[in-house]
Amino acid sequence: MTQAAKNAIVLLSGGLDSMVAAGLAKEAGFTLNALTVDYSQRHRREIGAAARIAAELQVLRHIILPLNLREFGGSALTSDLAVPKEGNGSGIPTTYVPARNLIFLSLALGWAEALGACDLFIGVNALDYSGYPDCRPEFIASFEESARLATKAGATGEAFRIHAPLQHWGKARIAMEAKRLGLNAGMSWSCYDPTAVGLACGLCDSCRLRQNGFREAGIADPIVYAAHASEP
Amino acid sequence: MTQAAKNAIVLLSGGLDSMVAAGLAKEAGFTLNALTVDYSQRHRREIGAAARIAAELQVLRHIILPLNLREFGGSALTSDLAVPKEGNGSGIPTTYVPARNLIFLSLALGWAEALGACDLFIGVNALDYSGYPDCRPEFIASFEESARLATKAGATGEAFRIHAPLQHWGKARIAMEAKRLGLNAGMSWSCYDPTAVGLACGLCDSCRLRQNGFREAGIADPIVYAAHASEP
């Protein structure tokens, strides 16, 4: 089997990380099938970003799947709870969405099995998001086992591979990879809480991580920010 | 903590199995929060059945969550593929929906964590559905581990319990439990492929399992069938 003919499902949020993960999947020779979950998140701009990235990467199919996680709430991204702007604290932030990556990977697995694909790509990175439990390598490994046991394909001997190529990278390395892959970082959207006129706020955890990453990498970030945090 | 105050999430499809699982959860003293996924399944009648059962069981909240799994296809229940009517063969049937129970449990987990609940109930039974990989005890055990690793609650020491009280029962025992619990089996809906006038077909795998179960239990099934399979 030639590598070029193999389908992969890539979880594409529209953020920088998933853009780079998708770019790496394409570079590795996979045919891309992109899944974006429209989970009624506060930062809906990222869905448009995902569509731009999917077009740029010439994915075979892009599914934008509505799933109203506001029904459950429990996160600053899916409720009226305020997005913190004071910088990255310790512990798990209020922007954590209960079981989000497990839900997204399960959906990606459903599509993969229906399509006969065995490879899933997700842009988690444990360094930046050490606060998010579902970005840790042990979670990804455990999901691979659940995927094997949950599926017809797994029961008949097929193994699903969950690729998390950014797992051990920080944001600076990810910014450099975007550049190396020739992907315009301006296509991606990271801010959790855009301003009324649609600028990135510059102060939420996600903006701070991104600004610091580009600064550290010595690369200009094409995104326009409404503010810049004084403390990196 | 009194048992009566504890919330549980019950996956309620509207079928006989999940009705009995929910009834057992209520009998055990849990406050019920019912989740029904409207996954654009062929047998949409079961969603109305779920609403009736939720009302009868006086659940605290019933969420009917739209999730269009037809986008992925890959199953007779979510595509134009015909539902088999020739009786239960060996192997995994075409009515298997890729990763369905993993997707549903992940969603239930998201709600559970947002709500501060640790107990999830699912009506899988490995005897009747030995063809469905995601009904096996080893899958349920693996999911418990993924749930622990995927969540903030798990990362901070909370354990999620996936209750599958019907796991080792056949359909006759389940029919008897429905009776014992005082739940009218006529509220539930099992048929995969209702007739144009809304009767249960009587010939799909799900109808055959149900008919055989009630027959074996010596209990009358209130459901009206368009046909009865000559061979049990």
Give tens-digit pLDDT for A210-231: 999 999 999 999 999 999 876 5
Residues in Cβ contact with B218 at an 8 Å cutoff, skipping those fewer than 6 apart: none
Query: What is the per-residue pLDDT for A230?
Result: 66
What mean pLDDT comes out for the span B9-28?
98
3-state secondary structure chain A: CCHHHCEEEEECCCCHHHHHHHHHHHHCCCEEEEEEEECCCCCCHHHHHHHHHHHHCCCCEEEEEECCHHHCCCCCCCCCCCCCCCCCCCCCCCCCCCCHHHHHHHHHHHHHHHHCCCEEECCCCCCCCCCCHHHCHHHHHHHHHHHHHHCHHHHCCCCCEEECCCCCCCHHHHHHHHHHCCCCHHHCCCCCCCCCCCCECCCCHHHHHHHHHHHHHCCCCCCCECCCCCCC
The reported pLDDT for the residue numbered B122 is 98
- Residue B126 — very low, low, confident or very high, per pLDDT cuts 50/70/90? confident
pLDDT the model gives residue B157: 87
Please state, in angstroms and rounded to a whole number, the distance separating the CA atoms of residues A211 and A217: 10
pLDDT exceeds 60 at position A209: yes
Give the pLDDT confidence score for residue A184 in this predicted structure: 98
- Residue A130 — pLDDT band, cuts 50, 70, 90? confident
DSSP 8-state secondary structure symbol assigned to residue B158: -
With cut-offs at 50, 70 and 90, classify the pLDDT of residue A88: low
Distance from CA of B107 to the nearest CA of A (A): 6
CA–CA dist B120, B109 (Å, integer): 7
With cut-offs at 50, 70 and 90, classify the pLDDT of residue B155.
confident
Which carries the bigger pLDDT value, residue A104 or residue B86?
A104
The pLDDT, as a whole number, for residue A131 is 78
Q: Do B133 and A150 touch (CB under 8 A)?
A: yes
At A1 the pLDDT is 43
Edge-to-edge strands, sheet with A161-163: A61-66, A31-38, A7-11, A119-121, A161-163
Instruction: Please determine, looking at this structure, whether the domain spanning B3-183 carries the CATH number 3.40.50.620.
Output: yes
Cβ contacts of A147 on chain B, cutoff 8 Å:
99, 102
**What is the reported pLDDT for B88?**
65
Residue A10, pLDDT above cutoff 70: yes
Of all residues in chain A, what percent carry a pLDDT higher than 70?
96
CATH architecture of the domain covering A3-184: 3-Layer(aba) Sandwich (3.40)
Q: Is ipTM over 0.85? A: yes
Q: What three-state secondary structure class fits B221?
A: coil
- Whether chain B has a CB inside 8 Å of the CB on A219: the answer is no
Contact B149 A155 (CB under 8 A): no
**Residue in chain B lying closest to A116 (CA):** B74
Q: Quick check: B66 and A68 CB within 8 A?
A: yes
pLDDT at site B128? 75
Neighbour order of strands in the sheet with B7-11 = B61-66, B31-38, B7-11, B119-121, B161-163
Max avg pLDDT among A119-128, B123-132, B209-218:
B209-218
pLDDT digits (tens, 9 = 90+) for B165-215: 999 999 999 999 999 999 999 999 999 999 999 999 999 999 999 999 999
Q: How does B92-116 read in b/e, with b if 16+ C-beta sit within 10 Å?
A: bbbbbbbbbbbbbbbbbbbbbbbbe
- Specify the residue for token string 């919330």: B7
* pTM (two decimals): 0.95
- pLDDT in the model for residue A23: 98
φ and ψ at residue B122, rounded to 5 degrees: -140, 140
For the stretch A165-208, pLDDT in tens is: 999 999 999 999 999 999 999 999 999 999 999 999 999 999 99
Put simply, the chain A residues between 107 and 166 with a CB less than 8 A from any chain B CB are 107, 109-115, 133-134, 136, 138-139, 142-143, 145-147, 149-152, 154-156
- Whether residue A85 is predicted with pLDDT greater than 80 in this model: the reply is yes
Q: Is the pLDDT of residue A22 over 50?
A: yes
Share of chain B above pLDDT 90, in %: 81
